Amino acid sequence: AVVSTQSTGEHCEEYGRMLQADPTKVSARAKKRGLPQLGTLGAGNHYAEIQVVDEIYNKQAAKRMGIDEEGQVCVMIHCGSRGLGHQVATDALTEMERAMKRDNIVVNDRQLACARISSEEGQNYLKAMAAAANYAWVNRSSMTFLCRQAFAKLFQTTPDDLDMHMIYDVSHNIAKIEQHMLDGKEKTLMMHRKGATRAFPPHHPLIPVDYQLTGQPVLIGGTMGTCSYVLTGTEKGMQRTFGTTCHGAGRAYSRAKSRRNLDYLTVLQNLKDKGISIRVASPKLVMEEAPESYKNVTDVVNTCHGAGISDKCIKLRPVAVIKG
């Protein structure tokens, strides 16, 4: 989510709620793990950043998002469904392994465990995954509220007076049933965006009225020492990638290699030299999430822009980073 209160629900993918969610398909252990974690970032590549608008590439689209000028302050929040979502996936792996034996499905890695969509196991997982996605939207909404309250307290005013509206909340790592053109015919497809994010074009019925002329905002998180981007979806992307683009830079080094090769204090000093403040829960996270651990996000974004599957709109530079 980018917080930059106009209708927050409309500025969420699926209006912040997948209707096929069934909480009875979520195990008691998953619920127990998720309950105390609501309103928290989590570890890994999740973060909350205070950012400054560095460049505007499309002034008309940026203005629709409430971004009027360079130097404007935004907050970007990247987090998911926490332990609840992790447990949903763990539970599904066990259930699907049994289904694979029954249906004679063979894969070369346990992490690729699967079930037929129409099977009981497949339907149970989709309903539980949708519930986890709903938890993630509530989680981000909770942190958005807390973020607004923090800014209001600091500046001794209200979030509305600070114009802290939400630009968009969009998921990645999610499977959804969508309508797409395939071989010249409209078909119902299961779209699984893993390490990718939705990027619907202008005039698409599932994006807010505010963005009908510009295309859906697409949030591309970079690294804590470089930059992030907001893109917009395109018609070409709809045709070539089913309305999908990248969701970030992608790792250059594994977490283990980052811990071996990078020095904690050096990474912190480099951030300080760039004028970036950081609050982090664990020293190892600093090394795992250092800018050197990732590909160059600008190169990745330029590739997507050049291919026409999403258009550059705004470049954001971090000034303060919170890692869970």
Residues with catalytic roles: 247
Query: Quick one: angle between helices 120-155 and 82-103, nearest 10?
Result: 170
Evaluate whether 278 touches 320 at the Cβ level (below 8 Å). yes
For residues 12 and 167, what is the distance between their CA atoms, to the nearest angstrom? 9
Report the alpha-carbon distance of residue 66 to residue 223 in Å, rounded: 24
Query: How far is 194 from 247, CA to CA, in rounded Å?
Result: 9
Closest-CA residue to 124 (of 27, 239, 249, 49): 27
Give the closest residue to 281 by CA, choosing from 57, 88, 47. Answer: 47
CA dist 33 and 91 (Å) reads 13
* Structure tokens belonging to residue 93: 């792996």
Question: Strands 244-246 and 277-280: what pairing?
Answer: unpaired
For residues 80 and 42, is the Cβ–Cβ distance under 8 A?
Answer: yes
Place of tokens 């071989």: 183
Distance CA 261, CA 292 (A): 10
CA nearest 311: which of 192, 194, 213? 213
H/E element, 188: strand 185-198
Is residue 281 within 8 A of residue 323, CB to CB? The reply is: yes
DSSP state of 133: H
